[in-house]
Structure 1
């Protein structure tokens, strides 16, 4: 079986993003199980239905990248108990214009980290609702909503926290098995 290509959508644009650190850790831990391709969302224009007739080039590139992947991994922070607007905008662009849903029928997983006591529990629940509406099947378990702590993940994507390391390894094992099923 060829190595699966996983589209990586990171919901934070911040240069020092905790979620980018988490995505790097997952890439490092995954080794050669998957080929990860980051799909950037920062340069997408705000979705405007008036642009459907002449869809923006950045939107078309985004849709092509999503379509080229076997599955997707959403790595999201939590902003005000929900997902970042930039991530929701990317999802909207991926489903437009009408009749051209680039997410339809794909599989996905969600993970995330935030300094709040509950990590990204609320954001992930909202994201699950949105992804269900755009015909993405989402890995049901394990939920990986991490309370960010300084030093858990180093600059090279190595996880120093043993408990977090075990959770991420479990996540990768389940994601791989679910995609193979």
Structure 2
């Protein structure tokens, strides 16, 4: 059985640690799991006026969510919260009203930052939103990657063995949730 995961990076920066982290999750994914990194950079800002004729980028987002068995959400931390581009994607995925594509999707939340707290504030804030969207996030272990600048090599590969172990442990819990 093949499992499809849609992964969303809350950072649009070209050399984003958050996107590198998602790529590391993809690289360490279990057999039978396909991880597709979804580009959210072309989504328009949420505007209810656009709901009558959804833009192509929004329709593509909806299709990506519908096709996925589960979701990875990775975020940097901005002012103790998750990123606005991720918020925009979450909002579009729940619109138009009554068409929440996120409903009941198993999810894993990743926090990533070059600083010391590992995006704790962002992850906790994001988890609050997932409750409202009726998603089913992995509760434990939580995942915070602090000091991200030292965890990847010049080609963007994860080089930290402890982080690799944390990712593998989280994949095991995520797979348990997906298979329920």
TM over 0.5: yes
1:5: which partner in 2? 4
Q: How far 1:54 sits from its partner (Å)?
A: 1.6
Determine helix, strand or coil for the equivalent of 2:60.
Answer: helix
2:58: which partner in 1? 59
2:143: which partner in 1? 144
TM-score, structure 2 as length reference: 0.94
Q: How far 1:176 sits from its partner (Å)?
A: 1.2
Q: How far 1:51 sits from its partner (Å)?
A: 1.5
Q: How far 1:150 sits from its partner (Å)?
A: 3.0
Q: How far 1:159 sits from its partner (Å)?
A: 3.2
2:111: which partner in 1? 112
The residue correspondences of 1:70-89 to structure 2 (distance < 5 A) are 70-89=69-88
The alignment's C-alpha RMSD in Å is: 1.5
Contact kept, 8 Å, 2:69 with 2:178, in 1: the verdict is no
Q: Which range is displaced more, 10-19 or 49-58?
A: 49-58
Structure 1 residues not aligned, in runs of 5+: none
Determine helix, strand or coil for the equivalent of 1:115.
Answer: coil
Could you tell me how far apart the structure 1 residues matched to 2:6 and 2:108 are?
10
Aligned length: 180
Could you tell me how far apart the structure 1 residues matched to 2:145 and 2:126 are?
16
1:167: which partner in 2? 166
Contact kept, 8 Å, 1:39 with 1:66, in 2: the verdict is no
1:90: which partner in 2? 89
Q: Which range is displaced more, 113-122 or 10-19?
A: 113-122
Could you tell me how far apart the structure 2 residues matched to 1:69 and 1:177 are?
16
Residue 14 (str. 1) matches residue 19 (str. 2) = no
Could you tell me how far apart the structure 1 residues matched to 2:6 and 2:156 are?
18
Could you tell me how far apart the structure 2 residues matched to 1:84 and 1:21 are?
16
Could you tell me how far apart the structure 1 residues matched to 2:118 and 2:105 are?
26
Could you tell me how far apart the structure 2 residues matched to 1:149 and 1:102 are?
31
